Structure 1
């Protein structure tokens, strides 16, 4: 399947994240569940230059198709999609504020009522792991147990 409309919506969402200051440069990524697995943004490509056909189809076995390489963070997108069938999309952002807080390597306590959006009484922060690794994916999945959001340490 081509998923043309969905691809266009993902590109629009990526550009909107940049406009809102939630990402800078080529950081961050979005995936959306499709019957074949999930669509994910490509690695190292500016959202302003990205076109719908640049998105990559990933399968849960780690194989992919498309003209680009998948985001280096495809592993945690895959693992979330595999473990959490209710999740339809994963958004990974590098906002200045979240990145700053992640360097503290601490959970964010419920100091504001919007913490509840994360699904619990805190936003958990993972231990540090190198980007794109299975260790980071495993750590993110653990931090997301009974939650909808987490911070990746120093990320």
Structure 2
């Protein structure tokens, strides 16, 4: 079987995300760049119950070539890979705290302040938010492409997160960091927390 190590890594890391509550049911999806195209989690599949032999295979144009039918969220993934050519993998989650925070988003205002150094280093100091679009809609492509040019993480209003990394491990780590920082932001909401200042952020970036 081709790319067996990558397939096993997708199953292991997806299962870890599922086991810790970062996805439920068939929510969320993952894609990884491979020679000649991409591996992707199939449509309506659970991140906790993946079969490495049934992962979707897409060519360089995101055309399905083997395995089970891919996630309907292909347009989102394609937009990020186009905007960030160095991307090796993408993780899309409906994790609780990011999604909750996205429902409080006021357009024009930053959603998560720079609270910790690891948040800044892994996902950036200002994670852009894309307005709500129906899941699977191709209309979101331009918005996501523009947002992804600003940093590796994008928050989708009323939906969840889309996080890029140079590798699958890097993307998973960044997605977890985003979720934990969203939880901190919610815990601190209504207070006046001290955030990292501009000089400290610049040093980290």
TM-score, scaled to structure 2: 0.69
Q: Which has the larger radius of gyration?
A: 2
Aligned equivalent of 2:97? 97
Contact 1:105 / 1:127 at 8 angstroms: preserved in 2? no
* Equivalent-residue separation in structure 1 for 2:5 and 2:133 (angstroms): 35
Aligned equivalent of 2:13? 13
Gaps of 5+ in 1: none
User: Any residues of structure 2 matched to 1:60-71 within 5 Å, and which?
Assistant: 60-71=60-71
The one of 124, 143, 148 aligned to 2:147: 143
Deviations 1:44-92 (CA, angstroms, capped at 9, x unpaired) = 0123331101211112323112231111111121222233221101011
* Equivalent-residue separation in structure 1 for 2:61 and 2:144 (angstroms): 19
* Equivalent-residue separation in structure 1 for 2:11 and 2:141 (angstroms): 24
**Coordinate RMSD, CA, aligned:** 1.7
Report the number of matched residues.
154
> Does residue 134 of structure 2 align to residue 130 of structure 1?
yes
Aligned equivalent of 2:115? 112
Contact 2:15 / 2:49 at 8 angstroms: preserved in 1? no
- Residue 105 of structure 1 and its aligned partner are, at CA, apart by 2.9
Structure 2 vs 1, CA of residues 9 and 112 (structure 1 numbering), >3 Å: closer, same or farther? same
Question: Mean alpha-carbon deviation: is it higher for 102-111 or for 49-58?
Answer: 102-111
Aligned equivalent of 1:78? 78
Question: Mean alpha-carbon deviation: is it higher for 123-132 or for 47-56?
Answer: 47-56
Name the structure with the higher helix share: 2
